[in-house]
Structure 1
Amino acid sequence: MQPYVVLGVCSFTHDSSAALLVDGELVGFVEEERLSGVKHTRTYPEHAVTWLMSEAGITPEQVNEVAYNFHGLHYLRVVPAALGLVGDPASRHRAVARAASFTKVALRTVRRVQALRRRFPHARVRPSLHHRTHQMYAFAASGWESAAVLVVDSLGEAQTTTIALGRQSEPGRPALRPVYELTDPASLGYAYGSVTEHLGWRRGDEEGTVMALAALGDPARFRALFADAIPITPTGFALHPGYFAPRVLASSFARLTPRFAAETCPRRASDAPIKQVHRDLAAALQERAENVMLHLAALAKTRTGRRRLCVGGGVATNCVAVGKIVKSGLFEEVFVPPAPGDAGTAIGAAAAVHLEGSARPLAGVANACYLGPAYADQLPDLSRFTVHRLDGDVAEVLAERLADGQIVGLFQGRVEAGPRALGNRSILASPLKPGVVARLNDTVKFRESFRPFAPMVTAERAAEYFALGQEAPFMSMASSVTDLAREQIPAVVHANGTARVQTVTQDGNPFIHKVLTAFARRTGVPVLINTSLNVKGKPICGTPAMALDCLAGSGLDALLLEGRWITT
């Protein structure tokens, strides 16, 4: 019997990626940027698909279904309401442009599906509703039998916020029932991205920088403004068109109104100094985002009656907001998949199509994050570097050198899924050494000095340092810290008193767990700084060549590359 092969694709918008299911088993998943070196690339994921075909030992002709993560015709839902803005004096000048832009994108998305058909002429190409792909991935990755599923992003066709009830009556057969939606222009992702751009950072890329900056500001200065600009309602929230102009899907149309700038500050140039007004604006934006997310989580609890919550969509990468949901006690447990943004929808789209077309259960999706290529036997020429093959226990050697104060890049095993390095493509450092944060920001990552670094800790001892109260294997939620953490590891505690923690189990990543244990044996502290193996503006290093370039172009002391200790 021929295998049932489903290829999931995120492509042509941003964060291109691909996932492959063969008879329901997840062969792999990888973001294209990890292989091409182009951050947030929107191109067809050629490298990712080529690797997946090779990994599975199949050809494109054997693919039965191609699952795409957008459904073009659903963009047309926005058009009637967009034309209705003609009667609103504040928005009428954008009404026709808004309707025309959504129509244009709808047709463009249909053409993209046709382009995929030309690449896979023997397969059926299935467009999927974008939020459904987010929901499916978030719920399937949790492995739970039942949960509320909350997806919050900038835009998925017409939807911006959805709640679904996830149930799994038998293992590997997740099912979803939609219970709630908000449509554009009510979009928290649109609002956060707009203010990010106003503050001088790249929308769709550097919202995390604004989240970090928020800890240094006073939200009271603009609290009332954001209460008006993003009003919370019994059925969700809205955006005030006097501050956030209704979306037009064209870069030539501003997202914020002149009124917003007049009541806050002029738009900051990316190279301009950061002033207190920028910190305060970031703080007020972040506070409002947290309030909205808490409100949406409460709606999810009310409308589903579930005790657990899965969160997906681009806004799910706001670890502080997710941490506030955890801390609220609304749910017994909160789960964010390793790739909550659009890249992860390649898995969700593939899973949804497989479940419709096959009776076989899904496998390899739940709690999986190390899903990309490995290169243990495919190393490039190392002659321009000094290379030592480590003998003995590599984890012990690495722990010793970290305890001595070295900053080390780590490249091992399969590439992680999602925006956080989780120990296979990481930069590790001791949180106990004075000046380590400044050194990492100034000479290794080349990024803003106020940005914090995340800790990784053995799951067994996490409660000694972090008050999250649940495991956080994918570094997706900020936790308040204990007095012991403030005393011993202040380097990983941000100005708001939190840390974006990664808890590591022996089963989840045996090597990193062993390194943490060995480090604790030497120092008494089972915590290391873990940041992604890249420099600012570049994607996480997915290939050995990218990792070696990072070593050569940064202040890393060494790169541990598949058991080889490499220095410049």
Structure 2
Amino acid sequence: MKHPPSVILGLCSYTHDSSAALLVNGELIGFVEEERLSERKHTADYPARAIAWLLARANLTAADVDAVAYNFQPSRYLAEVPAALQLTLSPAARDRALARARGFAKVAVRTQRRIRRLSQKFPTARVIPIPHHRAHQLTAFATSGWDEAAVLVVDSLGERQTTTMARGRDSRRPRTRILEAITDPASLGYVYGAVTEHLSWRRGDEEGTVMALAALGDPARFRSLFARAVPTTPTGFRIDPAYFPVRTLLSGYQRTSPRFIAEACPERDPSEPLTDVHRDLAAALQERTEHVMMHLARRARIRTGFRRLCVGGGVATNCLSIGRIIEAGIFDEVFVPPAPGDGGTAIGAALAVHTDSSSRQPVLGIARSCYLGPSYEGQQLDLTPWPGFRQKELGTEAADFLADQLAHGMIVGLFHGRIEAGPRALGNRSILASPLEPGFVERLNATVKLREPFRPFAPMVLAERADEFFTLGQEAPYMSMASGVTEQAREQVPDIVHANGTARLQTVARTQNPFMHAVLTAFAHRTGVPVLINTSLNVKGKPICGTPEMALDCLANSGLDALLLEGRWISK
């Protein structure tokens, strides 16, 4: 580039979890996933609403965009074609070799078409495709704010790569250098998704349900199966195609084999009740995932020599694996960004273009930032479509009032400030409840979240009092880590402890979220316990509510008692 781009639009689009991020002169103006504005969960649509909000926030138009950073590079798909054809020499994989070559070539062409489409939408900008794992790495590392760290990305597939290990240096001018890479068909995300689908849940959406179910099973029953199917190697792991046939990127191909079915169980029908065999299969899958992730973390520690670890990619949302790595003491500290999945790569893609340019400007507004989307403070609220609702203004007493209602047993939706980045509600688009009320977990699952009864609920806790209840030993601001619990937690808040003895906690510091810190402090004054149940403001199958209208619909169509929407108490 002759001149470094000053306006860079990062995009995740046309696949799943569409999102957009905007960098102007190195500063992150904002980031938001399209589903929060369109109400279509995991949407693959072009993120038109997200882009419109970002440009309006910066007082810019599409013509002002200098570069569009896209989170996939088409040429890397093509590189898999000759490797796929070589699978004809493998007895276990030859039946899919040609289909695999066709599938990767087809996706390469499709990705190139998408880039041309973006060029038409931004005719004055240069559209720059970024390797997918590089985008993940930069998102994870830059968000950490650290000077140096090992960076481990584990997902289902990024062009050809499924796992990369890198060194990250200088998060203000973030750069990563890959040391090792594992390519498909060795994919931990592929295996977890395949078993999720086998158990009748949506692959790419409900892996968390399988992780929750795992706590109720015995991994010993299928431990040897997964050890054979996903063996570790000195530098990582591989997948046995006799159990999980190689990926084709074409529809109509099963992800589990007849041998897997014979040694495990038949595919579960959604109407079929859950039995011990399903619980045990989930438990063994989760145990193997944790084993492989620990192996990769140890490898990253040895290869980089760094004492801190950043983890990105879809498998980074497996909070139990992250918790195991922390507990093992492999690193002094572990960090997972608020948006570790594909949506967050919009940030990393924009960072890649910025750092590759001749710009000397450091990046701003990324380190330890998670509230990056639109805010609706001060907006007029028309309750006409919801005639049964009443509202009252709370003003400066909102935090104290909310804590009082929670202490008295209400389940309340909270819509406050800017939308969180990533898959977790972090106190701005949350459903809150007291962990002291008996039967609340059952009520939340049955009448509010409308989901499986075995799903646990995460606690949020004042950061300065976290060690009274949790054994993690480090901050967990983005609800991405499972922690052991103390005896005090078991005695005072047993409902936040899952069947496996862990809790996926969020530590809340005053500097991170002053309002939520004030609510927790006021709740602790009333009850003696600085802990609340926190789950996302949505019901099963819907995205987290990003707009006031979505939040009001959630109140109307669920068992919520009330909604605190930008300082207004709305009851029904």
TM-score, normalised to structure 2, is 0.98
Residue 415 of structure 1 corresponds to: 419
Superposed CA deviations along residues 180-212 of structure 1, whole A, max 9, x for unmatched, are: 100000000000000000011000000000000
- DSSP 3-state at the match of 1:364: coil
Matches within 5 A, 1:23-422: 23-168=25-170, 172-357=172-357, 358-383=359-384, 384=387, 385-422=389-426
Question: Is this contact kept in 1: 2:69–2:350, CA < 8 A?
Answer: yes
Cα distance in 2 for residues equivalent to 1:341 and 1:516: 29
Aligned: 1:555 with 2:559: yes
Letter in 2 for 1:450: F
Residue 541 of structure 1 corresponds to: 545
Cα distance in 2 for residues equivalent to 1:3 and 1:107: 27
- DSSP 3-state at the match of 1:534: coil
Cα distance in 1 for residues equivalent to 2:271 and 2:99: 32
Residue 472 of structure 2 corresponds to: 468
Question: Is this contact kept in 1: 2:436–2:493, CA < 8 A?
Answer: yes
- DSSP 3-state at the match of 2:460: strand
Q: How far apart are 1:401 and its partner, in Å?
A: 0.4
**RMSD over equivalenced CA pairs, Å:** 1.1
Cα distance in 2 for residues equivalent to 1:335 and 1:290: 17
Question: Is this contact kept in 2: 1:379–1:544, CA < 8 A?
Answer: no
Letter in 1 for 2:53: W
Q: How far apart are 1:377 and its partner, in Å?
A: 2.7
Point out where structure 2 has 5 or more consecutive residues left out of the alignment.
Answer: none
Q: How far apart are 1:392 and its partner, in Å?
A: 4.8
Question: Is this contact kept in 1: 2:5–2:354, CA < 8 A?
Answer: no
Residue 519 of structure 2 corresponds to: 515
The one of 448, 461, 473 equivalent to 1:457 is 461
- DSSP 3-state at the match of 2:77: helix
Cα distance in 1 for residues equivalent to 2:89 and 2:143: 45
The one of 7, 10, 19 equivalent to 2:9 is 7
Higher mean alpha-carbon deviation, 380-389 vs 191-200, is at 380-389
TM-score, normalised to structure 1, is 0.99
Question: Is this contact kept in 1: 2:483–2:504, CA < 8 A?
Answer: yes
Cα distance in 2 for residues equivalent to 1:494 and 1:77: 44
Cα distance in 2 for residues equivalent to 1:364 and 1:121: 28
Cα distance in 2 for residues equivalent to 1:303 and 1:391: 53
Matches within 5 A, 1:427-466: 427-466=431-470
Question: Is this contact kept in 2: 1:380–1:545, CA < 8 A?
Answer: no
- C-alpha change, 1:2 and 1:360, in structure 2 (3 Å) is closer
Aligned: 1:487 with 2:491: yes
Cα distance in 2 for residues equivalent to 1:85 and 1:164: 28
- DSSP 3-state at the match of 1:393: helix
Q: How far apart are 1:86 and its partner, in Å?
A: 1.2
Q: How far apart are 1:89 and its partner, in Å?
A: 2.5
Residue 504 of structure 1 corresponds to: 508
Point out where structure 1 has 5 or more consecutive residues left out of the alignment.
Answer: none
- DSSP 3-state at the match of 2:127: strand
Q: How far apart are 1:355 and its partner, in Å?
A: 1.4
Q: How far apart are 1:90 and its partner, in Å?
A: 2.3
Question: Is this contact kept in 1: 2:136–2:348, CA < 8 A?
Answer: yes
Question: Is this contact kept in 1: 2:393–2:569, CA < 8 A?
Answer: yes
Higher mean alpha-carbon deviation, 107-116 vs 85-94, is at 85-94
Superposed CA deviations along residues 251-270 of structure 1, whole A, max 9, x for unmatched, are: 21111101111111110112
Q: How far apart are 1:77 and its partner, in Å?
A: 2.1
- DSSP 3-state at the match of 2:185: coil
Letter in 1 for 2:361: R
Q: How far apart are 1:359 and its partner, in Å?
A: 1.4
Q: How far apart are 1:3 and its partner, in Å?
A: 7.7
Question: Is this contact kept in 2: 1:192–1:207, CA < 8 A?
Answer: yes
- Residue identity over aligned pairs, in percent, reads 67
Cα distance in 2 for residues equivalent to 1:153 and 1:28: 25
Letter in 2 for 1:378: Q
- DSSP 3-state at the match of 2:520: helix
Cα distance in 2 for residues equivalent to 1:419 and 1:270: 24
Cα distance in 2 for residues equivalent to 1:552 and 1:140: 39
Q: How far apart are 1:88 and its partner, in Å?
A: 2.1
Cα distance in 1 for residues equivalent to 2:77 and 2:355: 25
Q: How far apart are 1:494 and its partner, in Å?
A: 0.2
Letter in 2 for 1:405: G
Cα distance in 2 for residues equivalent to 1:78 and 1:190: 17
Question: Is this contact kept in 1: 2:5–2:67, CA < 8 A?
Answer: no
Question: Is this contact kept in 2: 1:265–1:277, CA < 8 A?
Answer: yes
Question: Is this contact kept in 2: 1:173–1:361, CA < 8 A?
Answer: yes
Letter in 1 for 2:271: D
Letter in 1 for 2:218: D
Letter in 1 for 2:297: A
Cα distance in 2 for residues equivalent to 1:432 and 1:48: 39
Cα distance in 2 for residues equivalent to 1:137 and 1:205: 21
- DSSP 3-state at the match of 1:298: helix
Q: How far apart are 1:76 and its partner, in Å?
A: 1.6
Q: How far apart are 1:497 and its partner, in Å?
A: 0.2
- DSSP 3-state at the match of 2:542: coil
Cα distance in 2 for residues equivalent to 1:102 and 1:288: 28
Question: Is this contact kept in 2: 1:29–1:417, CA < 8 A?
Answer: yes
Question: Is this contact kept in 2: 1:478–1:500, CA < 8 A?
Answer: yes
Q: How far apart are 1:71 and its partner, in Å?
A: 0.1
Cα distance in 2 for residues equivalent to 1:286 and 1:2: 45
Cα distance in 2 for residues equivalent to 1:273 and 1:284: 19
- DSSP 3-state at the match of 1:287: helix
Q: How far apart are 1:80 and its partner, in Å?
A: 1.5
Cα distance in 1 for residues equivalent to 2:53 and 2:25: 18
- DSSP 3-state at the match of 2:136: helix
- DSSP 3-state at the match of 2:155: strand
Letter in 1 for 2:473: G
